[in-house]
């Protein structure tokens, strides 16, 4: 079944891998990012079934306009991937109020706004999938990253609340804990085996979309294969 997919937060890493994997499955894709500097080229490469949409996901009017553009191009949304985050790596006394607010605006408020739009379509259709990209800091605060940690904790709480509310409607909400660094696009690292492969993460995300509703995953824990963790 062809699906309309919105990926909120697309760059040359995990977002791109998810886009390519879902495109291979015949999905129509909307690639949301603050600018289309990266997403325009990716959409052109993927063809007529992909569009790049400039969107500040922390801005309610921007999100409403973006989803209206998606519906006009491809119809109602079937799958949403909340993949955006933004934070400076600062401890409490070094983190400005503006930086803290921005982390929450993108990581939590943005996921809330995008989910509200997508779920309105899914409720009408009787089903759909919402995936949240989490991190180690979703479950264990990181030293020197108060904004990022707070935003990831908030997004996890949002995902769990949505899952319990929306599951009976046939809407699968899943939160993925990415417990490790993601291999950078350049692959220019000394120990690539110590990183999560973004293509492998994308495979796992597609499995979430395909899961039978009798055995849905609420939280998916992914980490690289290392001796200790």
Per the CB < 8 A criterion, the answer to whether 66 and 113 are in contact is no
- How many C-beta atoms lie closer than 10 Å to residue 116's C-beta? 13
Q: How confident is the model at residue 225 (pLDDT cuts 50, 70, 90)?
A: confident
Torsion of CA 65, 203, 43, 116, to 10 degrees: 0
pLDDT at 215 over 80: yes
The domain locations on the chain are: 4-222
3-state secondary structure of 97: helix
pLDDT at 126: 94
Strand partners, 81: 7, 131
Six token digits for residue 228? 């200790």
Query: Could you report the per-residue pLDDT of 40-68, keeping only the tens digit for each?
Result: 999 999 999 999 999 999 999 999 999 99
Mean pLDDT, to the nearest integer, of 147-151?
94
Higher pLDDT, 5 or 229: 5
The class (CATH top level) of 4-222 is alpha beta
């Amino acid at each position: 079944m062809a699906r309309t997919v919105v990926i909120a937060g697309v760059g040359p890493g995990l977002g791109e891998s998810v886009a390519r994997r879902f495109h291979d499955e015949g999905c129509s894709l909307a690639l949301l990012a603050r600018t289309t500097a990266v997403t325009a080229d990716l959409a052109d490469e993927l063809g007529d079934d992909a569009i790049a949409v400039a969107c500040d996901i922390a801005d309610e009017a921007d999100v409403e306009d973006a989803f209206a553009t998606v519906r006009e191009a491809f119809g109602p949304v079937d799958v949403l991937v909340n993949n955006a985050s933004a934070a400076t790596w600062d401890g409490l006394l070094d983190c400005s109020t503006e930086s803290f607010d921005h982390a929450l605006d993108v990581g939590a408020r943005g996921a809330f706004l995008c989910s509200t739009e997508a779920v309105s379509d899914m409720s009408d259709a009787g089903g759909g999938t919402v995936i949240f990209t989490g991190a180690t800091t979703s479950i264990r605060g990181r030293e020197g990253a108060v904004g990022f940690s707070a935003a990831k904790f908030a997004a996890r709480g949002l995902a769990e609340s949505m899952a319990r509310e929306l599951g009976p409607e046939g809407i699968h909400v899943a939160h993925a804990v990415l417990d490790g660094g993601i291999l950078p696009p350049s692959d220019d690292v000394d120990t690539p085996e110590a990183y999560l492969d973004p293509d492998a993460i994308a495979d796992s995300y597609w499995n979430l979309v395909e899961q039978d509703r009798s055995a849905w995953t609420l939280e998916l824990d992914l980490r690289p294969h290392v001796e200790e963790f």
